[in-house]
């Protein structure tokens, strides 16, 4: 007697044709959609960083808001997540950025580590990412710009905690 495999995911109709019900691929599309959305969320969290542009005239914006992420169920039980911010130098000169005002670095200012002290230099047509770990209002100035004085040398970076609750 030949071996007859019984397929639990199908049955026969009165006319003898098989009806397929479900099977292992039934939820494949839903799982695929779930993982695609999960992957997109991870990409947004890790790789989609806000940016600020610097042109030959200096900062494009005089202030920027950066919402810091917090991981937790409530505001009281939240762990801070550092947030990256990219400075895009589209000018024709190297630019030195630091915490301070009117082209003077405040050597005692606290804030993003790369902007402390004498700051960072970004080459012409290059980008540099800084990490913001704590809430605060950080005045940033262009200390030097290839020997020129741009019109917009100051900007204020306002880093604030995003709410973890809906209220």
For the chain, 167 residues long, give each residue's pLDDT as a single digit of tens: 555 555 555 555 667 666 665 555 667 777 888 888 887 776 666 666 788 899 988 898 888 888 776 555 455 555 556 678 899 999 999 999 999 999 999 999 999 999 999 999 999 999 999 988 888 999 999 988 877 778 889 999 998 876 444 43
Per the domain annotation, does 131 fall within a domain?
Answer: yes
The answer to the question of residue 155 being in a domain is yes
Measured in degrees and rounded to the nearest 5, phi and psi for residue 115 equal -95, -5
CATH number of the domain encompassing residue 121: 2.60.40.420
Tally of structural domains, the chain: 1
* pLDDT tens profile 60-77: 888 888 877 655 545 555
| Residues of the domain holding 127 | 51-161
Rounded to two decimals, what is the model's pTM? Answer: 0.65
Examine residue 113 and state whether it is found in any structural domain, yes or no: yes
Establish if 106 belongs to a structural domain: yes
Give domain status of residue 84, yes or no. Answer: yes
Give me the sign of the Cα torsion angle 138, 143, 146, 150.
Answer: positive
């Amino acid at each position: 007697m030949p071996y007859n495999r019984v397929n639990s995911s199908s049955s026969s109709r009165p006319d003898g044709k098989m009806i397929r019900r479900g099977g292992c691929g039934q939820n494949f599309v839903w799982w695929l959609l779930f993982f695609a959305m999960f992957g997109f969320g991870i990409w947004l969290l890790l790789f989609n960083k806000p940016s600020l542009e610097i042109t030959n005239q200096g900062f494009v914006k005089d202030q920027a808001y950066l919402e810091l992420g917090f991981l937790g169920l409530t505001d009281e039980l939240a762990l801070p997540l550092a947030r990256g911010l990219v400075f895009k130098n589209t000018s024709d000169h190297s630019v030195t950025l630091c915490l301070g005002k009117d082209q003077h670095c405040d050597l005692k200012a606290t804030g993003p580590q790369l902007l402390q002290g004498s700051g960072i230099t970004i080459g012409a047509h290059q980008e540099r990412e800084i990490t913001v770990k704590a809430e605060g209002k950080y005045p940033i100035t262009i200390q030097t710009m290839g020997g020129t004085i741009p019109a917009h040398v100051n900007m204020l970076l306002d880093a604030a905690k995003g709410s973890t609750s809906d209220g």
